[in-house]
A and B are shown apart, each in its own frame.
Chain A
């Protein structure tokens, strides 16, 4: 039950890459929220 490459989604090559996708999504969301707030204020 150690790292099993088959557990990764098909489009991801490694766990660090998947972690980067999760953190990157948060950054994109925060930027979008900031833009939305400035646009609507």
Chain B
């Protein structure tokens, strides 16, 4: 990184942190500190909801997924607009009318204290762990670029967010989300545009899409119903619907965002704005990854994008094996480049059989290149069993550093930081809200005044910050980070959603049956995941239905 990049990065981060701290003034009550005094308009709510969901993981892993796996990941978000409509009809009016701080408060009024405490506990466990992953995501960037110690980097990343989250309340977080989304949108659009500009003369955007399509990367829709396939239209619509409904309806980091709306209507509009924009946004982020894939069809690509690991391999006893793999990779890359140029010529001549033949060669060399990569991955693991071999997370970063102009590099690194800060800030805030409102105030110290709980919230935020940083230190044990977060969510969200579904729609079931239904369902969901019985997206639907079904049976069995 050049001085210009460092300047852009530091200026962006300092600007946002300062703005957040300035905006934190004036929080004199729990309502101000945790819900921004119910004062925010719909576009604040909408952008804050989007910024909370779009973490650094979104901008690191998603282009990498587009590069390695194509566009099919976009189907994962098809359930989101449907979930936004259900939330607007059911959840938002009830939460607003009850004037609650956390979603789990509602469960006590419907059931009892132990259902509220159990659900809040599941949320705290899940959110605490996944926030650790959100801290780790930008930290690997710094450690790769600067050779910093990853543990120290996690500490710095989690720490600077704490600096303004503790002093600033929800209002400050929402205001900084506005800036963050503006920066992220501008920088990603510019990165996509420049990637197309970097393609050889005569290759435009449409040509690039054709090359991607022939290479099997424009796999946007998979109509085949397969419970073991991670991404198809059915898992996206049904599994994704349950996951998004659970996430937005029962995860305090999101509930806390839309409860800041001035009225029910403003909260609804914010959620529906998210429903309209999320799929196109995710499509464009994946498309950037696909364009990077096309770029590397015309240019030499590294076998492994995480340069730190290949540098280590070159110094190990497996250096000669790696050299052989590199030669094989270079030959295959040259073959692929010739096939892509033939494809280009066939496209211009409208030669269908030529396109088919070139397409087959592209796919064959692509498979062979994946084989070489797999061999190198094994070598890296042999040389260093603790090595980070999840290359998906490094693809976009490596491309940015190697090919994009100075200044934009700094801006894109800043994007990854600010996106991360947005989601981590919301997570810290929600963890503190639930701990103070659902546990401390409800069970331990119910007699404090408003300012006492605001001070307690600040201390609890610090405590959760420390916990999440510790989790981040172990995050490299998970696979692709974006998938790790979604798997973690799927283990808990379905059960939490099931409790809320019973609360909203099955009035005949009481707290005792719901409590035990949730415990049994959670055990069954964890066992399903452990024994790999189904793709993780389905765990949300399974968890939710199990809670409803088991609670219903228990209610009947106990005869009340």
In the complex, are the beta carbons of B221 and A37 less than 8 A apart? yes
Complex: A39 Cα to B218 Cα, angstroms: 10
Minimum CB–CB distance for A40 against chain B, Å:
3
In the complex, are the beta carbons of B221 and A22 less than 8 A apart? no
CB contact between B85 and one of A19, A36, A37 (< 8 Å): that residue: A19
Within 8 Å CB of A6, what residues of B?
265
B contacts with A, residue count (CB < 8 A) = 35
Residue of A nearest to B213 (CB): A40
In the complex, are the beta carbons of A1 and B263 less than 8 A apart? yes
Within 8 Å CB of A39, what residues of B?
213
Contact pattern, B 297-328, Cβ under 8 Å of A = 1, otherwise 0 = 00000000000000000000000000000000
Residue of A nearest to B223 (CB): A34
In the complex, are the beta carbons of A33 and B213 less than 8 A apart? no
Minimum CB–CB distance for B78 against chain A, Å:
7
Stretch at the interface among B135-143, B266-274, B406-414: B266-274
Within 8 Å CB of A8, what residues of B?
265
Minimum CB–CB distance for B213 against chain A, Å:
3
In the complex, are the beta carbons of B268 and A15 less than 8 A apart? yes
Which secondary structure dominates chain B's binding surface? helix
In the complex, are the beta carbons of A23 and B263 less than 8 A apart? no
Residue of B nearest to A41 (CB): B213
In the complex, are the beta carbons of B221 and A7 less than 8 A apart? no
Which secondary structure dominates chain A's binding surface? helix
Stretch at the interface among B119-127, B275-283, B332-340, B457-465: B275-283
Within 8 Å CB of A19, what residues of B?
85, 88-89, 272
In the complex, are the beta carbons of A2 and B264 less than 8 A apart? yes
User: Does any Cβ of A come within 8 Å of B209's Cβ?
Assistant: yes
Complex: A15 Cα to B265 Cα, angstroms: 9
User: Does any Cβ of A come within 8 Å of B81's Cβ?
Assistant: yes
In the complex, are the beta carbons of A1 and B218 less than 8 A apart? no
In the complex, are the beta carbons of B85 and A29 less than 8 A apart? no
Minimum CB–CB distance for B418 against chain A, Å:
27
Residue of A nearest to B79 (CB): A26
Within 8 Å CB of B280, what residues of A?
29
In the complex, are the beta carbons of A7 and B276 less than 8 A apart? no
Contact pattern, A 8-41, Cβ under 8 Å of B = 1, otherwise 0 = 1100000100110111011001100110110111
In the complex, are the beta carbons of B219 and A1 less than 8 A apart? no
User: Does any Cβ of A come within 8 Å of B466's Cβ?
Assistant: no
In the complex, are the beta carbons of B82 and A26 less than 8 A apart? yes
Residues of B that sit less than 8 Å from A by CB = 42, 71, 74, 78, 81-82, 84-85, 88-89, 93, 96-97, 209-210, 212-214, 218-221, 233, 263-266, 268-269, 272, 275-276, 279-280, 283
7 residue pairs, one from A and one from B, having the closest CB atoms: A7-B265, A40-B213, A33-B220, A26-B81, A37-B220, A40-B218, A19-B85
A-B contact pairs, 27 of them (CB 8 A): A1-B96, A2-B93, A2-B264, A3-B264, A3-B265, A4-B263, A4-B265, A7-B263, A7-B266, A7-B269, A15-B88, A19-B89, A22-B85, A22-B275, A22-B276, A23-B81, A25-B81, A25-B276, A26-B78, A29-B279, A33-B71, A33-B74, A37-B213, A37-B220, A40-B209, A40-B210, A41-B218
